Amino acid sequence: MSHNIAAYEDELLALARTSIHYGLSHARAPSVSLDDCAPALRQPGAAFITLTIDGQLRGCIGSLEARRPLAEDIAQNAYAAAFNDPRFTPLSSSEFNDLDIHISVLSPQEPMAFSSEKDLIEQLRPGVDGLVLEEGRNRGTFLPSVWESLPNSALFLRQLKRKAGLPEDYWSETIKIYRYTTTYLPSHEQSPD
């Protein structure tokens, strides 16, 4: 689905911004009228919303699997990134105009087959692959945009293991890795209201 999603970039970014603005005064995400959305945005979709202020992370929440219409997923995750990311205090009204919103719409996940950690590292596509790592109850993901700060495949995998709550040097025969790609919709400069 994400192959043509860039055509709806302005609509999706406006939806995310509206959801956060609504959340500031109503303390919840707005309900999305799917009848007002393009047909492609009514289809099941999964997206991550990353919020930054002056280039610094301010919140990031998303869905790994498509379980609701994409427009609804974006509205709910935009609200959650602004107000429910446990790493940050809820967004304040004074921060709203400085907020940059970035949307990553995920492709379906594909399980990866590998014979060793070295084999896995050699298969990774820096700048392209998002990864989900699963080992027992431990789970973590990195979006493809994380390659910008972790451009080395071995380092990318080590840090993903840490994010999943595992030691950096952890390896087992039961570890599962899923690959996905994203369509990235960057924030546009906002004009003051």
Residues 15 and 88 in one domain: yes
Checking if the pLDDT of 115 tops 90, the result is: yes
Q: What is the pLDDT of residue 79?
A: 98
Average pLDDT rounded to a whole number, residues 61-90: 96
- What's this model's pTM, rounded to 2 decimal places? 0.86
If one counts the domains in the chain, the total is: 2
Answer yes or no: are the C-beta atoms of 53 and 43 closer than 8 Å. Answer: no
Q: What is the pLDDT of residue 160?
A: 98
Q: What is the pLDDT of residue 66?
A: 94
Residues 85 and 48 in one domain: yes
189 inside domain: no
User: Among candidates 59, 60, 67, 76, which has minimal Cα distance to 15?
Assistant: 76
36 inside domain: yes
- Give residue 185's pLDDT band: very low, low, confident or very high (50, 70, 90): confident
Residues 121 and 102 in one domain: no
CATH of the domain at 122: 3.30.1490.150
More reliable by pLDDT, 186 or 122: 122
Residues 12 and 96 in one domain: yes
Domain containing residue 149 = 110-180
Average pLDDT rounded to a whole number, residues 136-152: 94
State which of 83, 106, 129 marks the end of a domain: 106
Residues 18 and 70 in one domain: yes
Q: What is the pLDDT of residue 44?
A: 96
Residues 27 and 41 in one domain: yes
188 inside domain: no
- Give residue 1's pLDDT band: very low, low, confident or very high (50, 70, 90): very low
Concatenated DSSP letters for the chain? -GGGGGGGHHHHHHHHHHHHHHHHHHSSPPPP-GGGS-HHHHSEE-EEEEEEETTEEEEEEE-SS--EEHHHHHHHHHHHHHHT-TTSPPPPGGGGGGEEEEEEEEPPPEE---SSHHHHHHH--TTT-EEEEEETTEEEEE-GGGGGT--SHHHHHHHHHHHTTS-TT---TT-EEEEE-EEEEPPPPPPP-
CA distance 115 to 113: 7
CATH of the domain at 95: 3.30.700.20
Residues 56 and 68 in one domain: yes
Residues 93 and 156 in one domain: no
Average pLDDT, the chain: 93
- Give residue 5's pLDDT band: very low, low, confident or very high (50, 70, 90): confident
Average pLDDT rounded to a whole number, residues 74-92: 97
The fraction of the chain above a pLDDT of 90, given in percent, is 90
Residues 125 and 137 in one domain: yes
Average pLDDT rounded to a whole number, residues 30-47: 94
- Give residue 32's pLDDT band: very low, low, confident or very high (50, 70, 90): very high
190 inside domain: no
